[in-house]
Amino acid sequence: DEITWTDNDDILIGSIFGGDKCSSDKIAGFDFDFTLIVTKSGKSFPIDINDWKLFDQRLAEYIRTIVTEQGYRFVIFSNQMGISKGKVTVDFVKKRFENSLKPLRIPCLIMVAKKDDIYRKPCTGLWDHLVQQQQQQQIEINMKQSFYVGDAAGRPKTAMKKADFSASDLLFAMNIGVNFLTPEQFINHMAKYKRFEYERFEN
């Protein structure tokens, strides 16, 4: 089956093209909204399940490179509190992931926080859940080579761009202890080096 979903009270977990069965000690973590995709309508929230486009057309190629050539595991960590607030249905959220990720044809694990609880970024619940899953496979995550990409980095307003709505993605990466990149930084890095070179982010 191309896509499977597991839903419990706290989190929603999706697997596309066997993303739940992938094994690697290197995690390429990504936020979803305004990191992998943006709305075609230009609105902050999608008007329907088809209101999306890739943040950058090169993303598919770059993610495929780090997965197939560098052996990274592609994992999405997404806050979707609209579910618990009754603003969107679980089915709506699932369809948005499916519509945007299926065309990429890259194995992906999707981890979704539905409430304002320990799973919601910048809390580390989603990552902790992944660590437990990896331990069941007897794979310890290589924190040095793993990284997380997200748009909520606490950046101030500029002439070209409005301020980030929060710093939750940056804080999530800091809390779990991996390198952090904004979507723009990830794209520029891959465009320059054609692969992810974690050594360039070492302090």
What per-residue confidence (pLDDT) applies to 203?
A: 44
- Residue closest to 13 by CA, chosen among 128, 113, 118: 113
Name the pTM for this structure: 0.94
- What are the residues whose beta carbons fall under 8 Å from the beta carbon of 83, sequence distance 6 or more? 12, 89, 90, 93, 114, 115
Classify 131 as helix, strand or coil: helix
Q: Which amino acid is at 9?
A: D
Handedness of CA 189, 193, 197, 202 (dihedral sign): negative
Percent of the chain having pLDDT more than 70?
98
Model confidence band, residue 154 (pLDDT cutoffs 50, 70, 90): confident
What per-residue confidence (pLDDT) applies to 165?
A: 74
Average pLDDT over residues 5-23: 92
Model confidence band, residue 202 (pLDDT cutoffs 50, 70, 90): low
Fold category of 3-197 in CATH: Rossmann fold (3.40.50)
What per-residue confidence (pLDDT) applies to 191?
A: 95
174-201, pLDDT tens digit by residue? Answer: 999 999 999 999 999 999 999 999 988 7
User: From the CA atom positions of the chain, what is the Rg in Å?
Assistant: 16
Sorted by where each begins, the domain ranges of the chain are 3-197
163 pLDDT more than 70 = yes
Which structure tokens are listed for 135?
A: 């331990």
